[in-house]
Structure 1
Amino acid sequence: MEDSTYRQECAALRETWDNAIAVADGPLPGSALDPLVTPQGWCGHVRLADGQRAATVIDAADVIAKAFGLPDSSIVVRTMPEHREVFIWGYSTKSGADYHLGWPHPVLDGSEFIDIKRESKGTTLLDLVQLTTWARAYKESYGALRAGREQDVQQFVRRLGRLRAGIIDILTRAKPQQIRELLLRVGLDRASLPNDLADEIGYPRDRDATIPIPR
């Protein structure tokens, strides 16, 4: 019986690791990857060779991403109880890794993300509609917190993480001005956005952040 497409894809990942990462002149010579294909890329256990540690894998993250044709900052590494092993995720988008790192609970394989089939390298109408929906939902949660109203904190964190991932993803395919204008139309102020994203898209400093008065 011939291997399934899934097994072939896993074998291809293993071959790339062996030929680009685990070779004698690679960043992790003698290591071995046991990969799984996920909806957002791949993940797997890495068995380290003598003298290698989790920090060695983290230092090699950019090289690993390049070898697998992934964007910069798309590799996530987690240590394992067995010091000779780490678990690694390779995401097809930078936003996937960013969302993973910001999520308050462990992510198993990235399958919680919903992929949007894009018509081109640029943004589609669906991209912008979805980002607008996420921005409005986050604005609602942020406004409730600022006003001192009862608010589900976990929901707030999820909405912020989702909006952040959407902005980072679309930034790779659109100009900052497009995202800035979309968020301004929604009515988000700069204080509601993470500083790094606000700076990245040139969000205006329309007013100084204030401290809500306890009620």
Structure 2
Amino acid sequence: MSGDVHVRICERLGVKLPRATRRLVHCRNEQEAQALKAELQARLAEYRLEMHPTKTKIVYCKDGKRKGTYPNIQFDFLGYGFRPRLVRRSRDKTLFWGFNPAVSASALKAMRAAMRELNLRHRTDLPMDEIARQINPLLRGWIEYYGRYAPSALYPLLRYVNQMLLAWAMRKFRRFKAHKIRASRFLQKLAQEKADLFVHWRLGMTGTFA
């Protein structure tokens, strides 16, 4: 590859790139990005490889300073969605547009699906501390990974978990059957008194049970 391209690909004989290899390259302008894309396509073709026709794209990192108009201004990478977002400046608390990551919509969908597969809302044979034992490792891992950037983007998932607990309580306890508000108040009180029961309660992310 030419000296103008700051990307190296292992070219030793016998070394193959994984089929799902993903690379994220930052360029200074569109012309540089187009040139890099063409050069990468040519080099990969030499090894009978090719870029994914739909997943390979050039994205404009639009923010408060870069105000151009381009068709692609967002992308997903490693479970994060990168796009223009309103963020708060730490030194003076003012809002501005940045190009920042947060958990992606597809990652949220996958996490909700993982929760559904546990089918815990129907496990009325289990006590609540057993439910906590099963889901806390999942929640802890997700919060530690996705909560590093824009943790508030995880709130839809945490609300979903709370609503799952609400459905479980309404099935588990006869006094809450058909009494959603009463069950919600019970869980709200429990989240205050035993905040360490669930990982997201411990972090103050009780969300809503209604």
Considering the TM-score relative to the shorter chain, is it more than 0.5? no
TM-score between the two structures when normalised by the length of structure 1: 0.29
The structure number with the bigger radius of gyration is 2
TM-score between the two structures when normalised by the length of structure 2: 0.30
